[in-house]
């Protein structure tokens, strides 16, 4: 009986030495000492649910239906408006509207020449959630949206694609 036990123990140890450890994907957490962790920007390695279509107008329709209002954001009306969606989790997005000038400032840090496309996917670095450089109570500050890299996904719809049904030309 002892021989069987030693054989089983040897097999367990042998298998443990052969098996590679599972490493979780790297991600960042934006908290300060003592803060509670509430919805936080999801790591950029996880796909959103439901999966968003490639067509910008269909993508916008799904995001408009499921997004919550961005805290402290005022609603901007009119045809020259951009709709900005920040991904908070695999299931949740925050929505705000912004004039194209604000979007250009977030992209280029206030420098001229930021491109105005009808749809863009950008990333907000996790560290940006911890600061408010311009003191307006909003984590989006000049130059913080990046075209590549890790962070929270940000989808921006501008121009005709951002108009909801019935709002055209207002």
Separation of CA 60 from chain center: 15
Task: Look at residue 76 and tell me if it is in a domain.
Answer: yes
How far apart CA 82 and CA 58 sit, in angstroms, is: 16
**Contact criterion met (CB below 8 Å) for 119 and 56:** yes
**Domain range spanning residue 152?**
41-162
Q: Say if 31 falls within a structural domain.
A: no
Asked whether residue 153 is assigned to any structural domain, the reply reads yes
**35 lies in some domain:** no
**pTM tops 0.85:** no
In a domain, 63, yes or no: yes
Q: pLDDT in tens for each of the 170 residues of the chain?
A: 899 999 999 999 999 999 888 776 665 556 666 655 554 555 555 677 778 888 988 999 989 888 888 876 777 776 678 899 988 877 788 898 888 888 888 887 655 445 567 888 888 887 787 777 777 777 788 888 888 877 788 999 987 655 544 343 33
In a domain, 96, yes or no: yes
Q: Which residue is listed with tokens 């709002």? A: 167
Domain for residue 34, yes or no? Answer: no
């Amino acid at each position: 009986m002892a021989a069987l036990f030693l054989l089983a123990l040897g097999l367990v140890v042998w298998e443990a030495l052969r098996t590679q450890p599972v490493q979780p994907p790297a991600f960042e957490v934006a908290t300060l000492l003592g803060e509670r962790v509430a919805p936080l920007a999801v790591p950029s390695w996880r796909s959103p649910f439901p999966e968003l279509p490639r067509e910008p107008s269909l993508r916008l329709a799904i995001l408009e239906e499921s997004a919550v209002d961005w805290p402290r954001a005022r609603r901007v009306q009119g045809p020259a408006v951009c709709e900005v969606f920040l991904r908070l989790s695999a299931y949740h997005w925050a929505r705000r509207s912004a004039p194209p000038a604000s979007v250009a400032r977030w992209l280029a840090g206030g420098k001229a020449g930021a491109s105005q496309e009808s749809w863009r996917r950008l990333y907000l670095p996790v560290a940006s959630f911890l600061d408010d450089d311009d003191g307006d109570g909003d984590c989006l500050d000049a130059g913080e949206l990046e075209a590549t890299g890790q962070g929270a996904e940000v989808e921006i719809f501008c121009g005709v694609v951002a108009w909801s049904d019935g709002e055209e030309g207002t």
